[in-house]
Amino acid sequence: MNALKTLVYNNPGLRRWSLCQPVPQLTSNVWRAIAAPTEALASEDENTTTITTATNTISAQLDVLDVTNTTIDYESIPFFIAACRATKILKITSCNLEGLRNPHTNQLRAPPGLGHGDDDDDGPYVPQTVHFNDIVGISVLSQLEFLTRCPDVREIHWQSTKRSENGMKFYQLLVRRNGLPLNQPLPTMDDFWRLVQSKTWMHLRSLVVSGIYALYKNRILEFIPDEGFAHILESIPAQQLVKLECKGTAFGPLGLQALKRHCESLEMLVVKWSSNFTSALGQEALESFPKVTCLQVERLAFEDIERGGPWVCLGLKVLQVQFDMGVVAGLEDEQRRHRLVFDRISALVLLKRLTLNAEDAGRAPRLQFSTSYGLGALSTLTNLSILDVFESEQRLEMADVVWMVENWPKLHTVEGDLHPDNHKDRVLKEYLHSHF
């Protein structure tokens, strides 16, 4: 650790820091040197540095601070926060900010430099890219407060706890140490109205949000309500947002309506595991965002496609969805339904990847890539290079894969089972592989 401290002191111009599971944990002196190398060098032998001094002293601006799998102790917290505030690209993943609990009083204290109170300093918050993933020891509300103090931020990637064993351990640690119920302390709408205003994120172009997966409760803690999404999207200058990704959130009709303010700028929309995002909203999205090149939603029901209007996102290059063909009344009706869906897809002439999403799609009848159901309509997809039909219960014949090879010249990957019979499936895949 002394060697690292010496390295920092001797190279105050270092601007990119990537720290993955450092052993031993970094000391407060090292964090102080990273946050303010000039000040740290000048007072290396002093032992009287206070939290106020640390949060107000930012003598260097970093380009990158990427911290993964580490613990920030009580003495290091103020310098760590100061470093976070002073970096352009900030990434914190699977970290434990246990230092926010005073070891002497066993009480949580407000993170230095994160509040919005009258006593909080007005120092610069320079991050332009912020990734918060699996952070323990700092509430979701405090994370939101930090984010709203970054006026130049262009990209926010905010995931409270991921679906993993380590992620759940981190969240359970947070609950156990802080004595918090599972739904606290989450931002309320009052918090969103108070913190997110029209000038908060004037430059935001990319917003990625993932909810808290409480697996042992078999549910998702959606820490941003649909109304919260609507408020955030309305606060961003119109026609500016390029990417919105929501997984395990409450994004729904209010959020989608507000998102239409960015219909001429939005290029990527991903909505998964949302309690409020229905098939009808997926169809509405396809009708509303002409500049989108990547769209990933869980499900599109035939009934919603039939009732809806034509798709306007004709520049789509990636489409991931499960087509629910509904209850059919015989072969003729089934073929009619396929023809309508294939007609919609055929307009996506720039499509490069088509994935039939099987996650949580239930047992509804799936779209069959069969010439007997009208596959010929997709001859317009001459740019298609990847077809993913994983777990979509295909029943293809040799004529179908021959058609694909002949009509999709750029096709090089077909993923998933092509037939429930193992022998037929193997024969079809061997033919495809021999032509790729």
**Torsion over CA: 178, 181, 182, 187 (sign):** negative
Domains of the chain: 295-436 (3.80.10)
Query: b/e per residue, 15-28, with b = 16+ CB within 10 A?
Result: eeeebeeeeeebbb
Any bridge partners for residue 134, and if so which? Answer: none
Task: From first to last of the 436 residues of the chain, give the pLDDT tens digit.
Answer: 667 777 777 777 788 989 998 888 888 888 888 887 655 444 544 443 343 344 444 445 789 999 999 999 888 888 888 889 889 999 999 888 876 665 554 444 555 655 444 445 556 588 999 999 888 777 788 888 889 999 999 999 998 654 444 444 544 554 444 444 444 467 889 999 999 999 999 999 999 998 765 444 445 566 788 999 999 999 999 999 999 999 888 999 999 999 999 999 999 999 998 889 999 999 999 999 999 999 999 999 999 999 999 999 999 999 999 999 998 899 999 999 999 999 999 999 999 999 997 655 455 678 999 999 999 999 999 999 999 998 788 999 999 999 999 999 999 999 999 999 999 999 999 999 999 8
Distance from C-alpha of 340 to C-alpha of 250, rounded to nearest angstrom: 31
Contact predicate 33/9, CB 8 Å:
yes
pTM: 0.86
Query: 45 Cβ partners below 8 Å, 6+ apart?
Result: none
Distance from C-alpha of 238 to C-alpha of 258, rounded to nearest angstrom: 10
DSSP 71: B
Tokens, residue 149:
């103090």
In the block, residue with structure tokens 């290091």: 76
Distance from C-alpha of 248 to C-alpha of 223, rounded to nearest angstrom: 9
Query: 307 Cβ partners below 8 Å, 6+ apart?
Result: 283
Query: 108 Cβ partners below 8 Å, 6+ apart?
Result: 100, 101, 102, 178
